[in-house]
Amino acid sequence: MKTDMNTFSVYFAKRLIAATLLFTLVVLLTGVASAQSGNIDWNGWNFSYEAGADRSGLVLKDVAFNDMKILGKASMPVMRVEYDGDVCGPYADIMSTYTFEPARAGAPDSACDNKTLCERTFTQNGQEKLELGLNIQIGEYQIYQSYYFSPDGTMDARVFSRGLQCRIDHNHHPHWIFDFDIGEAANDQIFKNDNQLQTREFNDRKGSSQFWTIRDKVTGDSVTLTPSADDGVFDDFSQWDVAGRRYKSSETGRWLWGARGEIGNLHNNGESIDGEDVVFWYITHLRHLSSEGSILWHASGPTLTVNSNSTTPEPTEPTNTAPTLNFTSPANNASFAAGANVNVTVTASDAEGSVSNVKLYLNDQFVRQENVLPYEWGANDSSLQNLAAGSYTLKATATDNEGLETTKSITITVVDDSQPTPTDPTPPTTDATNLLSNPNFDSNLSSWTSCGGSTATTSVNSGELLLDNGGCVYQEVPAIVGITYKLSCDAKRSGATWTSVYLAFSNSNFATLESEITPVTTTGYDTYSVSLTAPADAAQAVAVMYAEDASYFDNCALVVDDGSTDPATENLIRNGGFEFGLDGWFSCANANNVSASNVSNSGAQSASVKSGGCLYQEARAEAGASYTLSCEAKDSAQSYTALSFNFSDASYQTLTTDTKVVDTSEFAVYSSTLTAPANTRNAVVVFYSEGDSNFDTCSLVKN
Amino acid sequence: MTYLRREQSRLKRLVLPVCLGSVLVSSVFVLSACQLEPTDGSTNNPTQSSEHKHIIGVDFAGSDSGEWPPVALNATNISPIRNYTQGLQAQNLASSVIVKERFDKHNGLRSIRGNRYASFEVDIVDDKEVAGKDSEGVYARTTYFNYVSNLTIDAWIDSNDQIQYSVEPAYTTQPPENREEEAQAVELAKADLTAKGYDVSSLIGTAMLAFPSTSEIAQTGQNFYTERILYATFGQGNGEVPVYTALVNLSQNTVSNSGEVASY
């Protein structure tokens, strides 16, 4: 069958989804929002948090007080808003990452100026408190969703709102979800007040003095949830104050029901919640009169109080606690010039006894133990002398007279003299010094941090990094705004899902600013690299390796990229001569119709494409640059065979195409030169043949 | 009646009954939205709340001084803490970027989302949800919205590491607006208002997803509009009542009901 070009395009559109399409007004969105997350360990409270997870505002996870777990998760998926008289709205305020808004500067206390996530401590009525809050703007509304923690075991969940979307009185109905895991996920019960057991999933309303108790059926440990003064009363729009549900993963995440969703009608199957993993919904009804103006904060939310059944006996003698320990110098994230001698000083003390010793480690290698004050290291410690460029972790461990230990770590960076320091305002010109420590994995995983899940494989064998099943490692180094960095690694994979080398920049709060990724596509070692310029506010570059199949990495480097390491003649096509079979190439049609062939014009092999077979490979390309694709090709059957050269944008929509019909029965050179249009992200090379064709010696170079 | 005309008539109205459901019994949905009978069989009837205290003096009610974020009452020794955990941050960062790339490259999703679409954030599901006995085996999910077909596409990676997706019409569910949509809506509304002679150049624009009113739901039975509609406002910022508003249809790239905010 002879196929014209139109049919050819349709063919590709169906298979490669990179063919020419009309009306391509693509609203390409970044999609990967920069969440903020971390862990808190403060006065008996221990939990992790993540801002914006599952569009649920500030989410707390694995909340424990004095080692007693109380919550698997606390979140706020929606605040429904109804205006009187059906004149304005309604709205569903959903606190996704897109709604985060830094707080205005200029408050009397500047602890949270210009911050999206506010973390601060304060003293109130003689008691110290920890506050964690998220600043949000939705339309004209300003929202502050927050949690307050006290050392006495109380935790206040609050949402503040202010602003006027319309000059109409209205009600706010924030919905909290508390996934209680008291002690563990199972065996929880919900009581109205402290004595009315709720055996089945329920909806309820609070009376004048009601509270709820969530208790572990086995241990008796419990949490009391008490409404606050302005939690309001239900109305027609939001008819319930609380709901008890049995935990299901799909029911504790995103809010999908818009402004009109009513918890009373959701997730209620009448299932048993007596001694199960339970979820407690709490809804408040906060009235806002337009006459109150737009400045007054309106706040509501419950208070949770931890009640440990295993009451702690009054100590007859002081309980020993671990010693305190802090680095005096150097400061965390301090930078030194290459060859520097680093002096380390720590302070350590013990409230009930004495400090027996303090040990210091450099990248987990023991340096020396100090048994008496002052706890100092430096001039007499060779491992702290003449440090080479790289990132180092200093770890100190203090041990008291009863053997309790406290460990603290800081990171320092040593920068080559020809490298700029983080405070050096002068950009470097050319410097290929590797900024990574242990880049070849010769010292196992030293200087690398694992970021894989619990089932991931992360190991080093014979100087090669092996990652599998979601394995991930990363290393951070200080970055300088405006400088282009290049991350490269030799890598190979064994499967077909996803392996990648990834470079990102984050700010001083570790929020991601920009990132670039390159997939690893070959089963044999090849060099994969990615370049990116540190954007404004960049504080560190993050080098990440990730793999879902068994994949190997070696010889990684993060260098300042001045372009000299990327000569114009570099072939951007991997395995263009097919000497490694079809490594790096992907089928875009029936995979049985493409193979490695011993018929070749140079070397030992070529790519055989026939009977509607299709092969393609992508390479990163730069908008505005000119590229030349060249391949040797032939079609023995003299049917339709083509070499296609495309540029596509970040959503893989084709921006421009040049197709060369292969009409020779012997190998001949087919080439095409194109300039990458605006918004180009990838160059795509495609072989297609309805006959019996071979392709060989392909190159793609930047002119 | 198109939604635009409905919206136009809605905005011109000054007062409507709070809930029309009790009289518009022909609509099952209105009964759902405004029903007076609780679903658990109790006889308590919801009523319009009038309870309203705003007790400024309680510990966390904040002040009326306009500070953002609010400061707890009588708070002293306020100190910022910095407690971001690099490992967790990098893990999330790496995972979400990698997973987003997988979603974006998926042929099925690329087909169903079309050429004019919005793309939303990736969420990495926490360990309990993945490992729990009621787990659906989802460990990452994202959403797309197709502006041409007006479809909400929910995509996830299942326990076999395969990308799956479901498709819902816009009137069934829609994701909240993202930043690019907000910016697009503000730009379209600004152009429309400017063409009408209003000066919005010194005002701050915002936009948020719009939802049908109670009376519209009575007619359509739908909780969401059939297209992607954002409510845009222009004002002085800082929560003050906006000066101008407009409804922006991102599915059609059109603007309606633009003008000054009504005084009710």
- Confidence band for A68, pLDDT divided at 50, 70 and 90: very high
Among the listed residues A90, A100, A95, A254, the one whose alpha carbon sits nearest the alpha carbon of residue B168: A254
Q: Which amino acid is at A153?
A: G
| Stronger pLDDT, A366 or B131, i.e. the higher one | A366
Q: Do A137 and B134 touch (CB under 8 A)?
A: no
User: C-alpha angle with apex A635: A634 to A636, nearest 5 degrees?
Assistant: 115
* Cβ-contact A699, A571 below 8 angstroms: yes
Among the listed residues A681, A691, A529, the one whose alpha carbon sits nearest the alpha carbon of residue A608: A691
Which residues partner with A218 through β-bridges?
Answer: none
Q: What are phi and psi of A481, to 5 degrees?
A: -60, 135
Torsion angle in degrees (nearest 10) through CA of A64, A65, A70, A76 = -70
For the beta carbon of residue A330, count every other beta carbon within 10 angstroms.
18
- Across the range A393-420, mean pLDDT stands at 77
Please count the CA atoms within 13 angstroms of the CA of B200 that sit on its side-chain side.
Answer: 30
DSSP-derived pairing of the beta strands A405-415 and A334-337:
parallel
Q: How far is CA A528 from the centre of its chain?
A: 22
| Stronger pLDDT, A256 or B26, i.e. the higher one | A256
Q: Which helix (H) or strand (E) holds B10?
A: helix B3-12
Look-up: residue for tokens 């480690």? A361
Interval B6-33: pLDDT, tens:
333 332 222 222 222 222 222 222 222 2
- Three-state SS at B144: strand
Interface test with B, best of A81, A98, A411 (most B CBs within 10 A): A98
DSSP A119-187: EEEEEETTEEEEEEEEEEEETTEEEEEEEEE-TTSEEEEEEEEE--SSSS-EEEEEEEEEEE-SSSSSS
Asked if the model's pLDDT at residue A627 lies above 50, the reply is yes
- Confidence band for A294, pLDDT divided at 50, 70 and 90: confident
Q: Which residue of A has its CA nearest to B47?
A: A235
- Across the range A670-681, mean pLDDT stands at 92
Interval A7-60: pLDDT, tens:
323 223 222 222 222 222 222 223 333 446 777 888 999 998 888 888 999 999
Look-up: residue for tokens 């690099």? B86
Q: Which residue of B has its CA nearest to A80?
A: B211
Work out whether the CA dihedral A263, A264, A266, A267 comes out positive or negative.
positive
CB contacts, 8 Å: A90 with chain B: 211, 213-214
DSSP structure class, residue B86: H
Of A298-302, A309-313, A494-498, A544-548, the one with minimum mean pLDDT is A309-313
The predicted structure's pLDDT at residue A22: 21
DSSP A522-537: -SS-EEEEEEEE--TT
Nearest CB to A120 within list B74, B81, B128: B81
Mean pLDDT for chain A overall:
82
Total beta-carbon pairs less than 8 A apart between chain A and chain B: 416
- Confidence band for A632, pLDDT divided at 50, 70 and 90: very high
- Three-state SS at B89: helix
Q: Could you give the CA distance from residue B126 to residue A116 in angstroms, rounded to a whole number?
A: 22
- Across the range B1-8, mean pLDDT stands at 30
CB contacts, 8 Å: B76 with chain A: 122-124
Among the listed residues A97, A95, A91, the one whose alpha carbon sits nearest the alpha carbon of residue A177: A95
CB contact residues (below 8 A), chain B span 102-121, against chain A: 102-105, 107, 110-111, 115-121
- Confidence band for A432, pLDDT divided at 50, 70 and 90: low
Widest distance between CA atoms in chain A: 96
Q: Could you give the CA distance from residue B99 to residue B145 in angstroms, rounded to a whole number?
A: 18
CB contacts, 8 Å: A297 with chain B: 61-64, 70
The predicted structure's pLDDT at residue B252: 97
Q: Do B81 and A472 touch (CB under 8 A)?
A: no
Among the listed residues A440, A258, A276, A411, the one whose alpha carbon sits nearest the alpha carbon of residue A333: A411
Which residues partner with A542 through β-bridges?
Answer: A476, A504
Q: What are phi and psi of A243, to 5 degrees?
A: -150, 140
Asked if the model's pLDDT at residue A478 lies above 90, the reply is no
Interface test with A, best of B11, B23, B68 (most A CBs within 10 A): B68
Interval A85-102: pLDDT, tens:
888 889 999 998 889 888
The predicted structure's pLDDT at residue A307: 92
Tokens of A129: 């408190």
Work out whether the CA dihedral B189, B191, B196, B202 comes out positive or negative.
positive
DSSP A413-467: EEE-TTSPPTT--SPPSS------SSTT-TTTTTT-EE---TT-EEEEETTEEEE
CB contact residues (below 8 A), chain B span 185-204, against chain A: none
| Stronger pLDDT, A77 or A327, i.e. the higher one | A77
B197: closest CA of chain A, how far (Å): 22
The predicted structure's pLDDT at residue B61: 52
Q: Which helix (H) or strand (E) holds A669?
A: strand A668-675
Work out whether the CA dihedral A239, A244, A246, A252 comes out positive or negative.
positive
Interval A378-387: pLDDT, tens:
878 888 888 8
A638: closest CA of chain B, how far (Å): 31
Which residues partner with A451 through β-bridges?
Answer: none
List of long-range contacts for A363-366, beta carbons under 8 Å, 24+ apart:
A363/A392, A363/A393, A363/A437, A363/A443, A363/A446, A363/A447, A364/A393, A364/A395, A364/A446
Look-up: residue for tokens 């941090």? A449
Asked if the model's pLDDT at residue A611 lies above 60, the reply is yes
DSSP structure class, residue A584: T
| Stronger pLDDT, B39 or A613, i.e. the higher one | A613
Look-up: residue for tokens 């939310």? A301
The predicted structure's pLDDT at residue A33: 37
As for the ipTM of the complex, it is 0.79
Among the listed residues A633, A629, A698, the one whose alpha carbon sits nearest the alpha carbon of residue A667: A633
- Confidence band for A276, pLDDT divided at 50, 70 and 90: very high
Q: Could you give the CA distance from residue A471 to residue A445 in angstroms, rounded to a whole number?
A: 13
pTM for this predicted structure: 0.61
Among the listed residues A263, A252, A275, the one whose alpha carbon sits nearest the alpha carbon of residue A72: A252
Q: Which helix (H) or strand (E) holds A367?
A: strand A365-370
Asked if the model's pLDDT at residue A506 lies above 90, the reply is no
Q: For residue B69, say if its preceding peptide bond is cis, omega within 30 degrees of 0.
A: yes
| Stronger pLDDT, B124 or B102, i.e. the higher one | B102
Q: Do A84 and B62 touch (CB under 8 A)?
A: no
Q: Do B90 and A168 touch (CB under 8 A)?
A: no
Please count the CA atoms within 13 angstroms of the CA of A696 that sit on its side-chain side.
Answer: 21
Nearest CB to B52 within list A96, A163, A287: A287
Which residues partner with A617 through β-bridges?
Answer: A685
* Cβ-contact A588, A615 below 8 angstroms: yes
B250: closest CA of chain A, how far (Å): 11
Burial class (CB in 10 A: 0-12, 13-18, 19+), A125: exposed
The predicted structure's pLDDT at residue A167: 85
The predicted structure's pLDDT at residue B148: 95
Q: Could you give the CA distance from residue B75 to residue A136 in angstroms, rounded to a whole number?
A: 22
Asked if the model's pLDDT at residue A561 lies above 50, the reply is yes
Q: Which residue of A has its CA nearest to B216?
A: A86
For the beta carbon of residue A174, count every other beta carbon within 10 angstroms.
28
Interval B92-101: pLDDT, tens:
555 666 778 8
- Across the range A409-427, mean pLDDT stands at 56
Asked if the model's pLDDT at residue B210 lies above 90, the reply is yes
The predicted structure's pLDDT at residue B188: 97
* Cβ-contact A231, B60 below 8 angstroms: no
The predicted structure's pLDDT at residue A421: 40
Work out whether the CA dihedral A677, A683, A689, A695 comes out positive or negative.
positive
Interval B134-191: pLDDT, tens:
445 667 889 999 999 999 999 988 777 788 899 999 999 999 999 899 999 999 999 9
Asked if the model's pLDDT at residue A355 lies above 70, the reply is yes
Asked if the model's pLDDT at residue B251 lies above 80, the reply is yes
Among the listed residues A365, A363, A349, the one whose alpha carbon sits nearest the alpha carbon of residue A399: A349
Question: In which region does residue A663 sit, left (phi positive, over 0), alpha (psi from -120 to 50) or beta (all else)?
Answer: alpha
Q: How far is CA B64 from the centre of its chain?
A: 27
